[in-house]
Every structure is written in C-alpha cells, then in structure tokens.
A and B are shown apart, each in its own frame.
Chain A
C-alpha cells in the first residue's frame, strides 16, 4: 500500500477549511505590496542607497535592485531581429550511485541551434562526457548530486561560450534556469571561476546571454518592497520577510499585458560582489501568455545585455515568439527542444550501465555487486512500466 488515504483525507479537509482565511490574509499582504510598489516606483536612487546600507548591516541581505527603469514601468513587445543565431541549452546527468555495480557519472548537454533570417533547418548538438575513477571525487568524497549539477551547469555555459565564439553575426544564448550557477553562494571556488570565465567570453563575443526561469516563485522585488517600508533607523532589521507568501509574479501578473515585460532589476545577494560590473546579473518578468490569463517567466541577463536596449528588446521578442509555438503551453520551443536533446532516459541509463559493466568485464576486471535495494527498485520500476 502506498498511501494512508484515510489519514491524508483528514489533512486535506483541514487544508481546505483553512484555505479561505489564508487567502484573505494573502490578499491583504498583496494589496500592501502593490501600494508599496506604486509608492516607491520613482524612488530608485533612494532605494539603491538604502540597499547599500542594508548590506552593510547584513552582509547576506538579498533583494532586487532598481535600475534606471521605474519599478512599475512596463514595456510592450518589440520586434524580433531579422538575422541572428540562437543557441538554447539544457543538460541532464546520471549521478554516481553507490547502489549500482559500477560508480560513474555522466553529463549530457543538449544544444538546439536556430538561425533567424535564413532558410536553415535547426540543428541539434549533443555533448556527452563520462566521469569515472578519480574524476568522480571532490575533496569531500564521491560527487554528490549537487556537485554533478554544478559541473553540468558550468559546462552548459562553457559550451555556449565555445559555440558563440565559432559563430558570426548576432548570437543569442539561452539557458534553462537562472543564469547564475546554483549554489555559487556556497563558495564552490573552481567551478565558479570557470563559470565567470565562460561569462566573460560571452561578453567579449557580444552574445546576448539569458537564463529563462519558468514558473518562478522568487520574491526579490517583494524583499525590496519590505526594505522600502522599513524606517531608516531600523535598517538592522533588513531581511525581515513579513510579506512572506507573496511572490514577484503575483505582484506583476495584473500589470502585464500579453508580450509585455516589467522593468529591469539588479540582484543583491551573497555572490553579487564576485561579479565584474559588466557581468552582474539582472532580471525582468515577461508575460508569455497569448490570452488575458497571464503567464510570467523570469528572464535573467548579465549587465552587458541589460545596458543595451536593442539587445534586450530583441531577446524579449525572441522569447515571446518562441513561447507561442507550443499551443497552450507558453514555454520557448528552443528550450523544449534542448531539453529533449539533453534528456537521458531511464532505458538509456540502464543500457549505459550494461555497456560500462561489459567493458570492465572484457578487460578481465571484477565488478561490484548491485545493491539489493537497487535490484528491488528496478524490479518495481519494470512492473510499473508494464
């Protein structure tokens, strides 16, 4: 038996009973946030200064930073570039597992190349790398899933930098997920340095680089509004998250018509100081919906894109247009394809396991045994598949 439905049913009932009250409370918080947004919309310099003071008081304080665009400003859908090469990238991985016979890991990077303005069939590109032996160890032991994810993300950026360098004309590079590496605030030194190098290469190339975050639940603008509401003499309390439950998308949804974007914001967080001025991460929200029901994504860009209105406008237009290709599911087609290309399926993983084991046996080596737990899991998976 998988679930005790009798017990869960009672909890679901309680959830339902509490939901209306929770909704009323969130509505009040939302109204407060809206008021703070409109009140502080023109106070860009004041807020920028206040953020600096908050960071002095609390080193890891994080929030959105206003740019030269007003907080409530919206921007209509611009025109797409006539000619450009776009690289969308996504990655997947097989993590090392102590339960399998042989411990290894694999990173598969899928790139989807599209050329605007030429009658050229898009091109899928795959970069696969197998890690084994000493290569799957960090100073703390065998790679964790987070270690592998970090290397994968870093490789995605390196591949994009390499492809951008090999391409002439306008180049756009889009990653699925934030442009900033996950976990970089945790001082993952070497990978972070490689990532910054890749970012600098993209900057040098003049590539329009962006990270696309689908269905974001970030609250950096909300945290900015919390700071805005804080009296100047209580700056040490910066970071008190009293608007918890309200997200940036909830705030901006009613304000954006289909195809429109919000103002640009910078990001203040623990790793912000590690970026050079031209690579500092910015973001905006974009309504990808074709209908009156908004669907917001967060788009992250480095400063060299944020400061160039033409680049920003063309990126804005490409992302919106790409998101209209799959009906009823606003998501850039090119990222969907990159995901399809990168995906390592369960069957492929099983096949790869067999190939690795066969190779070691061919070399006359003894391989370990699979854990009973893994055998049992595989058996269950096969049963479910049937």
Chain B
C-alpha cells in the first residue's frame, strides 16, 4: 500500500492540527478526507480536513490585478514560491498498538510530523470501529462551530466518501441515524446537516423526512 504524504504539522493540539503543504501536494487531499499523523511506530492520530486555505502574501495580491499574467509567472508562484497552504484538521481518534479509538489522543502530533492521506481500507477500518463515536468530536459545540467551519458540509462530504469506500448498502443509513439521534435536542444544527446530507445523497433524501 503506497503512502501519500500530504504535508507536515505546523501547529497541533489534542483536538486539532494545522498542516502545511506545497502546492504540488495539494492535488491529493481534499475537504472531508480522513488523514493520519503517524507519531510513533504504534501510535497514530486521525483527523478530518475541515478547511484548506491558501493565504495571500502581499506579492500575490499585487499581481492578481494585472491582466494577463504570464504563464511562467503563474507557474513560478505555484511551483517555486513558498505560498503558504494550510489545511486544518479536526482530531477524531487515534490508533494505539493496532487498536482504533474514537477518543482524543493523550498527546498531539509534533511540529513537522508528516501527515498521510488515509487509503480506502483505512477509512473503512476507522469508520467501522465502534458506533460512530467520533461524530461527537464533529458535533461538539464550540469546536468547529466556533471556527465558522461548515459542519454540515464536512459531515456530508465525509459520509459520502466513507459510503463510497464501504460500497455496501446500510452503512450510510446507520451513520445518519446516529447523527439524528445525537442532534435530537438541537433542531437548527440537525436541519443544517440534513440539508447538506440530502445534497450529498440525493436519492435518499426522503429517508430523513
């Protein structure tokens, strides 16, 4: 199984980490992808990408208003210049001595630890363990919502990717029922997420109604 390295840790806590990557690494990861930070031989932290940012650095802003921009200048900025690309990842669990836990790790990844994109097999393994306990990290108040993160979009994108990886009828149904149960006392959040889910799974929109 080939490992796709998507960047390295810039900043980390036990609940989230920020990954820096080069533009040429940006083709692999996407919003809602499950990633892994292999900290030690028997210890890895898992997270979901909830934000990808390309920060402007002054020069880019000044060039953006020039039209047309030469292809060589665009290529230079995309390939050579250290354009800061940041991916924000919310921690959803860890693996210790082969056991996946949907709990927060005892310590965060360290600066410059490499981050790998999880394969479909890993995604299936992570999402099969337990009873979707990792959803609580995504639905907790004051974490993603406090960062203005699109929680509904994140959950629907993640579920879509996971369902495609599972390729078995029923996984998504179980997952969506757990979400409805977790948000039974938060009608507004529930409606936002159901709306996002009905966009991601248009054929199953009636099941939630």
Residues on A lying within 8 angstroms of B by beta carbon are 114-115, 119-124, 324-329, 333, 336-337, 340
Contacts and interface: CB of A to CB of B under 8 A. Distances in A.
A327 B80 contact: no
A121 B66 contact: no
A92 to B, nearest CB: 16
Contacts of B70: 325
B71 A119 contact: yes
Interface string B63-86: 111100111110110011100000
Given A121-B80, A122-B80, A124-B80, A325 B63 contact: yes
A121 B81 contact: no
B62 A114 contact: no
Contacts of A115: 72
A121 B63 contact: no
A327 B63 CA distance: 6
B59 interface: yes
Nearest to B61: A327
A122 B63 CA distance: 16
Interface in B119-174: none
A121 B76 contact: yes
20 contacts: A114-B72, A115-B72, A121-B75, A121-B79, A121-B80, A122-B72, A122-B73, A122-B75, A122-B76, A124-B80, A325-B66, A325-B73, A326-B62, A326-B66, A327-B63, A327-B64, A327-B66, A337-B80, A337-B81, A340-B81
The A contact surface, by secondary structure, is loop
Q: Which 9 A-B pairs have the closest CB atoms?
A: A121-B75, A122-B76, A327-B62, A327-B65, A326-B62, A327-B66, A124-B80, A121-B79, A122-B72
Contacts of B64: 327
Contacts of A121: 72, 75-76, 79-80
A333 B73 contact: yes
Contacts of B79: 121
Nearest to B70: A325
Given A121-B80, A122-B75, 13 more contacts: A114-B72, A119-B72, A121-B76, A122-B76, A325-B63, A325-B66, A325-B69, A326-B63, A327-B64, A327-B65, A328-B62, A329-B62, A337-B76
A289 to B, nearest CB: 14
Nearest to B66: A327
B36 to A, nearest CB: 28
Contacts of B66: 324-327
A327 B73 CA distance: 13
A89 B70 CA distance: 21
A90 to B, nearest CB: 15
Contacts of B63: 325-327
B61 to A, nearest CB: 9
A326 B59 contact: yes
Nearest to B78: A121
Contacts of B59: 326, 336
A166 to B, nearest CB: 20
Contacts of B81: 337, 340
Contacts of B73: 122, 325, 333
B66 to A, nearest CB: 5
A122 B80 CA distance: 8
Nearest to A123: B80
Nearest to A115: B72
A89 to B, nearest CB: 16
B63 to A, nearest CB: 6
A327 B75 CA distance: 18
Nearest to B71: A119
Contacts of B65: 327
Contacts of A333: 73
B96 to A, nearest CB: 33
Contacts of A336: 59
Interface in B65-124: 65-66, 69-73, 75-76, 79-81
A337 B72 CA distance: 13
Nearest to B57: A340
A326 B69 CA distance: 10
A248 B20 CA distance: 48
A166 B68 CA distance: 32
Contacts of A325: 63, 66, 69-70, 73
B149 to A, nearest CB: 27
Contacts of A324: 66
A124 B64 CA distance: 22
